[in-house]
Amino acid sequence: MNTLVLASELSGRVVVTLGGEAVAQIKDVVFDGPAGRITGFTLSGRGLLAGPLKQSLRFSHVHAIGPSAVMIVSQSLFEDRDAVVGRGEAGRGRVLGAPVLTEEGTDIGTVADVVVETGSSGRVVGFEIAANDNLDPEHRKVFVPRGQSLAVSGEALVIPAQAQRFVADDLPSFAAQAEAFLTHMRQR
Amino acid sequence: MWWIWLVALVAAVALLAGAVVLVQARRRSGTVIAVNRGRAGRGGGR
């Protein structure tokens, strides 16, 4: 499995061309809920007073996501912002803070972050959840794997009930739990 | 009393600069957005 990273950690990461030019920085991380993959990024300009750009970067145009920078071949790969996310979608789809429900209708907390596999897949592996009493009496932030049939929007995240049995306390141990959950779902 | 105008000018410039930096920091701050484009994933897409 590739390295796991929190989507919020990608925000602010510098976008650098293979020619060594820092051309932008990541603003929003956009992912396709049904497909469970990152589709692209919205961008901000560089510099203290630079605001959001009207351009975006498709994930398929990313050369590599490194710990310090997102590498691309050339700035010419930038596209119009709507190619990655429309204005309406951006308003409706903000998942951080959205309530998390199991498919049985139990509210178990709110979305704190999204766990992404780096490398070429951009796969969404799971979610960091700020747990409530129904999941963890100590109200810790825990990691739960993504379900097979996932419903996710700014309104709510719906996960399979079995996912609660594969909760992890930290990102390194979550990788094994996510694999165990996948194996469990395949065997059903 | 000319220095009062100088203090007022410096305060106004500082307020304006602070407001600009705050607005830009808010505009640049990122989030995670879910869209609904693809087919339903199977077992995490492997």
Record: contact A182-B43, CB cut-off 8 A: yes
CB contact under 8 A, A34 and B36: yes
Total number of residues shown for chain B: 46
Q: Does A162 touch chain B (CB under 8 A)?
A: no
The CATH homologous superfamily to which domain A7-92 belongs is PRC-barrel domain (2.30.30.240)
Nearest-CA distance B45 → chain A (Å): 7
Domains A7-92 and A99-187 share a fold: yes
Least confident segment among A148-152, A154-158, B34-38: A148-152
Domain boundaries, chain A: 7-92, 99-187
Which token pair is B22? 């705050």
Average pLDDT, chain B: 79
pLDDT band, residue A118 (cuts 50/70/90): confident
ipTM, 2 dp: 0.83
Instruction: Look at A136 and A2; give whichever has higher pLDDT.
Output: A136
Q: Which residue has the higher pLDDT, A63 or A148?
A: A63
The pLDDT tens digits of the residues spanning A29-59 come to: 999 888 888 999 999 988 777 788 999 999 9
CA distance A6 to A114: 6
Tell me the residue ranges of DSSP E strands in chain A.
Answer: 4-6, 14-17, 22-32, 37-44, 52-58, 62-65, 69-72, 79-80, 99-102, 107-117, 124-131, 141-145, 151-152, 157-159
Dump pLDDT digits (tens) for A52-95: 899 999 999 999 888 889 999 999 999 998 888 887 787 788 89
Residue % of chain A over a pLDDT of 70: 97
d(CA A156, CA A99): 5
Q: CB atoms < 10 A from the CB of A14, how many?
A: 15
Distance CA B22, CA B15 (A): 11
Q: Is domain A99-187 in CATH 1.10.1760, yes or no?
A: no
